[in-house]
Structures are given as C-alpha cells and as structure tokens.
Structure 1
Amino acid sequence: MVTAKVARVALPDHAGQKYGHDLLSGLLEPGTYAVDPGDGRPWRSLQPEPEEQGGVRLQTYSITGPPDRIGVAPGDVRGTVFIPEQLGGCCCGWDGQYGPNLACAECGRPVASRIDDCGFWQVVWLEPDAVRPVAVAGPVQRVTGWEELPSTPPVGQRGYWSPQWEAAVAVALAHLLVVSGGERVTVPDGPVAEVFRRAIDSLLPPGPPERRLGLAGPGLPATTEIALVPRHPQTGELWPCDAGAVVPLAADVWTYLAFHELRQVYGMPASVRRDDPPPLLPNSLFRADGRVFVSTLKRLAARQPWVRRVYDRMTDRPYEDPFW
C-alpha cells in the first residue's frame, strides 16, 4: 500500500498553477485523491529530449504529465523513499522536473513525484502505470449536497486576491469564450462583474449582438442566456440548468459570488463595523491567471478561428492585459 485510504474528488482548477515564490499549502485535502487527465496543464516537466533545429541540438522539455496520474496529499503517502538523484528543485523543495522522485520502499520501483517547491501547490503525483486502486472496508464517502457547497473568501490576510480564485475564474473564462460564439457578453453590476467584466470586455468584441451572463445554481434561478453554474467539488458534475449555455465555476468561488458582496464593507453602518470585523478587501484589480486560461483553452480544443487567434496570442503573452 502506498497511500492511506482515500476517496476521489474533482481535480481542482489550480492543480497546474504556478503562483509566486512562497510556500503554498496542499493541493488536496487529506483523505482525498484526484486524477489529472494530463491534457495541457501548465506544469509537469519531464526528462529532456534532444531536438534538431538548424543543425543545432537543443534540449526541450515536455510540460504535461502522463495521462491519468493520481494526486494525493503528501501526508497520505505510505511506504516510499526518496530517489536522491531525482530530487530536482528550484529553491525550497522538489518540483519533479526529473521525473518520479519517490520509490516503493520494498521493491525500489519509482512510483510517484513529490512536489513541494515554492510556488507550487504541495502534492504527490502517483504514476498511473506503477499503482492500482485497492478496495478497502469502511464507510462510503458521503457526497456533499448542493445546498452544502463550500465557500472560499476571495482575499487573503495580506490583501492579495486568492490564487484559487484567479485559477477558477481563468478556467471559467476559457469556457465562456468557447460558448459565447464570439458575441459580446454583458455582466450586470455586482460581484460577478468585479472579477469577470474586465476580462470579458477585453477578450470579446464590443457592440451588438449581446448575450447576458449571470449566476444560476442552488437557491438561484437561471434567468440569463449564459449561466455561470457551480461544479461539484467531489463529483465534478455541473448544476443542472436549462439556460442556453452554461459555464462551470469552482463551487467554492461560485458560492461566495452568489451569497456575498466583494465590497460589502462600504456603506456599512459604523455601529455594525464596531462589533463585526469588516471583510478583507483586495488591494488591486482582479486578474485571472493567464497561464491557467491558456492551458484550459488548449484542453477544450476549441476550433473556432477567433478562439484560436486568442489562444495563439495568449500562448506567447499570458500576462498581457487583462491578465496583468
């Protein structure tokens, strides 16, 4: 056994995110695992392969992992040892750039890569051809009801936008771009506009015809042409909706947008603020993660020429406006 008992959840949107230079927390909760389809996530360097170009041999790196690799929390790993010569890292830990860096303690076979360098969400990726699932006795995982969806605040203690929000909105923007048909999309004033409008106005053309984007989900009716619906954090299923088009959004971000105000401190009576600490406010405009946006477009394999033009432009400049 190379892991403790774990139950499957949906792969988080920030699974392939590279963020800043600080030590980040775990990608997955203890006792859970997720499967990465290996379809264009923005990070997973493998061994270099030589390439001929103009008579010069270059060293190039693949940036996607093997299909169906399994992510688990580092604390759930059992019976493994490090492979010293494979411990490639950049600054404060290991990044898996040389392939699997964990081996089975009994047989010595490489089985996984531990990722814990600064800027990476900490996770252990099990090699799909080195492990297999084993059923164990015990209670079956309870699936959270739609009315119990989690919520993640958009701003951290230091006033910066949450990187999970930046990744989740980037994924939703890529889906929105595909379903928009190249038509202008409008967003009513409110929390959704705070994080989506600037990017939408930059990526989609101005002027009529227009389509309207709005939230739909548990407790909210679908009243717009394009519905922003929650994606279940365990099953990955989308909230069933009758809207003409749906755009998935990570459940914890959707819940906060649906039932909180991003700037609710303004206009709050002083008597209320005195007894209830005001919510943390961002110190800058919201910017979705450009690299996550590009990798999601690649995964969606959109064939519309205008979507392809956006993808080609953003591939070389993932930090251009509105992502910076």
Structure 2
Amino acid sequence: MTVLACVGCDGVLSARLSQVALPAHAHQKWGNGVLLPVLMEPGTYAVDPKPAGPPWRRWSGVGAEEAAAQGVFAPVYAVSFGPPGAIVVAPGDTRGTVLIPDRCGGYCCGLDGSDGPNLACAQCGRAVATRIDDCSLWQAVWFEPLAVRRLADEDPDDRTADWEVLAQQRQGLPPVDPSGAWSRQWEAAVGAALAHLLAASAGAPVAVPDGLMARTFGRVLDGLIPSGMPAKTVALAGPGLPTPNPAPDIFLVPHHPRTGKAWQPSGTTATVPLSAEVWTHLAFYSEPLLVPATGGLPDGVLRDDPLPMHPRGLFRPDRAVFLDTLARLPAVRQAWLRRIYDRVRDFRYPRLF
C-alpha cells in the first residue's frame, strides 16, 4: 500500500492506496454538459507515464526528433515538455489539501484544471494537485509528479500481480450503459486498441470474428483499410481461453488491471492490448436465452426477465483517444498509416468516429 506525501513538508496528501493500471479513458472528453463519474476506484491510484502539462510547444516549432523524444511521432496541436509520472486518484482519497481560490476556473459545471494546479498542501501551501470535476471530464485529482512522493507502508498489497484473478473474474464491463448508449469506457478502450491493431495489420485488411467484435472493431477497420490484399485474422487470447488452432495473425490480449502489462501468449503471433474489463466481456460473456433451449414456455406463463441491453445506433470508437494513441506509436511514421492518421485528424471519416 502507498501513501502520497508532500515533498515540501512530508504532509500526508492521500489515503492508503493500491496501484492499478491507468484507465484507457483517463483523458477522455465526452459530450457537452454531461457529468461523468469518478475515474478511479476508491483506494486506488494510477501513474501516467507520458509527459504532461506545461511547458507546451506548438508542433510547428518542434522538430520530429525532439517530438519523438517526448513520445510523439505524428503532428499534434502542441507537445508537452512537462514531467512524466502524474498520479491520479479519486477525489475522495485526497487528504490534507485545500483549494487555491484564484485557480478554480472551469467551463460551466466545475473545475477543469485550465488554470494549473488548484489544490495546495494544507500544511505548507505548496501547489500539489489538480482537481477536475467539470462536465464532459472524468472526475479525478491529478497530483503533480514533482510535488509529491510515494511512501510505502508496512502492510503488503494483497492484490495479486499475476493473472489468476483475471482468469477467475469473467463478468467484465458491459458494452451498453443503462441508458441504452454505448459505454464511454468501451469507446475509449476500443479507440486505443484500434490504433495498435492498425499498426499490427501492416496495411492489410483485418478480419475480426462476427458478433460484438465485428460491431465494435470491424466496421471501422473496413472503413479505414481498403480491400484488395489478403485479410489478417484476429482472435482473443488470454488467461482462461484455449489457444486457437490454427493461430490467427493477430491476438487481442488483455492489459493486466493492476500492472498494465499485456498478456504474452506463447509463439510469435503479433499481439494488440485491450482494456482488461472490455477484453473479459468479449472473451466470456454470452447473452442468456430468453426461452428454454428446447420448446417454449407453457401457455399462460409470462417471463419477467429483463431483455438484454442493445445500444442505440452504431458503435463509434473515441476519435481523440484513437488519435492520441496512434500519434504515440512509432509505426505512424510509415506512409500508409500516417495517411490514415491525417485523414482521421482532418475529419475525413466522420461517420466512423
């Protein structure tokens, strides 16, 4: 377990926390006027390995080599030269912090962090974190990487780092919200995995299995990659699943929910990582039968089970998450993939995204 402390005075700034993988939707923006829930589960924290925050430099003033050193390989509006390692927690897990009154700017419903860190250490007054709770943004507190340090306590973390827990938990995250809309988490997770899947395709068409994978991945892949070459096949692989025979060209594998490391199957098949909650649903969920497998219900018997949730409209991966992920893959410097990146960035595929 870990506690965050102020580097200036050692004041305690968080509850006891366990580290988990950074969610794919950590930086997602969704809708307008929509209040999103809390990003992190209580008692957890995640670390963003990417540089974040000021100083920012416009792409036109940053050379390709300098941008690549910051982990950006395709044009973006601005490149961050801030320190990596921002730590995100649920707002309820903060301790010993106070708002900075002149940094409480937001769009319309709360704080958006546009004025810089808006939380200070209550003990010494050092700016240490940014609380975000405005509409369209996931509610979170982001601690500045240079303003805090992590202190490990004596109690070990009882969350196993291997794959046993994931192999036993077979529910996953449903793709449809109770409102009937596609899950925002699914849109972000598929957007990130889609970027990796395109890179793994090497420009060839990609054939995904029928069903939910076709609805979430297939339509966009067909729209982005022209036909004409033999298609590469995709299959799920991970803990609790048998190894497909014959092996596909690409495996879709889960991120470990705690460490963030991707499952590594045996062999040399290319792998594409996907959020563990989404992967688990794809791997193990099947809709329940609404009638007995043989015959029907007796006359006069009404079934009161709720119908399975079906979404309104077509699935659209999160465009911003897709572009951000693709811009950070070295493969985007290949001409064919750069063309896709540029066209999506220029809104050439509005119906897909």
TM class by smaller structure: 0.7 to 0.9
Unaligned runs of 5+ in 1: 54-60
Partner of 2:36: 24
Contact 2:16 2:43 (C-alpha < 8 Å) held by counterparts: yes
1:8 aligns with 2:25: no
Q: Deviations over 1:281-311 (max 9, x none)?
A: 1011111001110000012232211111111
How do 1:19-98 residues align onto structure 2 when only pairs under 5 Å count?
Answer: 19-20=30-31, 21-39=33-51, 64=80, 66-98=83-115
- Report the CA distance between 1:63 and its aligned residue: 7.3
Contact 2:59 2:78 (C-alpha < 8 Å) held by counterparts: no
RMSD of the TM alignment (CA)?
Answer: 2.6
- Report the CA distance between 1:19 and its aligned residue: 0.8
Picking from 319, 329, 350, the partner of 1:300 is 329
User: Match of 1:192, as an amino acid?
Assistant: M
Contact 1:46 1:62 (C-alpha < 8 Å) held by counterparts: no
Partner of 2:259: 235
1:188 aligns with 2:209: yes
Contact 1:89 1:95 (C-alpha < 8 Å) held by counterparts: yes
- Report the CA distance between 1:125 and its aligned residue: 0.4
**What SS class does the counterpart of residue 134 from structure 1 fall into?**
strand
1:146 aligns with 2:166: yes
**What SS class does the counterpart of residue 173 from structure 2 fall into?**
coil
Partner of 1:57: none
Partner of 2:199: 178
- Compared with structure 1, are the counterparts of its residues 199 and 62 closer, same or farther at alpha carbon in structure 2 (3 Å cutoff)? same
Q: State the TM-score, normalized to the length of structure 1.
A: 0.88
Distance (whole Å) between structure 2 residues aligned to residue 52 and residue 18 of structure 1? 25
What is the aligned-residue identity percentage?
Answer: 53
- Report the CA distance between 1:215 and its aligned residue: 1.2
User: Match of 1:247, as an amino acid?
Assistant: V
**What SS class does the counterpart of residue 277 from structure 2 fall into?**
helix
Q: State the TM-score, normalized to the length of structure 2.
A: 0.81
Distance (whole Å) between structure 2 residues aligned to residue 47 and residue 318 of structure 1? 31
Distance (whole Å) between structure 1 residues aligned to residue 59 and residue 231 of structure 2? 47
More moved, 138-147 vs 169-178: 138-147
1:224 aligns with 2:248: yes
User: Match of 1:160, as an amino acid?
Assistant: A
How do 1:124-143 residues align onto structure 2 when only pairs under 5 Å count?
Answer: 124-143=141-160
**What SS class does the counterpart of residue 235 from structure 2 fall into?**
strand
- Report the CA distance between 1:132 and its aligned residue: 0.5
Partner of 2:340: 310
**What SS class does the counterpart of residue 278 from structure 2 fall into?**
helix
User: Match of 2:101, as an amino acid?
Assistant: P
Distance (whole Å) between structure 2 residues aligned to residue 313 and residue 266 of structure 1? 42
Picking from 95, 100, 116, the partner of 1:99 is 116
User: Match of 1:283, as an amino acid?
Assistant: R
Distance (whole Å) between structure 2 residues aligned to residue 317 and residue 156 of structure 1? 27
Picking from 94, 112, 119, the partner of 2:136 is 119
More moved, 156-165 vs 143-152: 143-152
Partner of 1:277: 306
Q: Deviations over 1:46-87 (max 9, x none)?
A: 58889999xxxxxxx957564111101111100010011111
- Compared with structure 1, are the counterparts of its residues 307 and 50 closer, same or farther at alpha carbon in structure 2 (3 Å cutoff)? closer
- Report the CA distance between 1:316 and its aligned residue: 3.1
Contact 2:56 2:79 (C-alpha < 8 Å) held by counterparts: no
- Report the CA distance between 1:265 and its aligned residue: 7.0
- Report the CA distance between 1:28 and its aligned residue: 0.7
Contact 1:47 1:97 (C-alpha < 8 Å) held by counterparts: no
**What SS class does the counterpart of residue 156 from structure 1 fall into?**
coil
Distance (whole Å) between structure 2 residues aligned to residue 74 and residue 105 of structure 1? 15
**What SS class does the counterpart of residue 68 from structure 1 fall into?**
strand
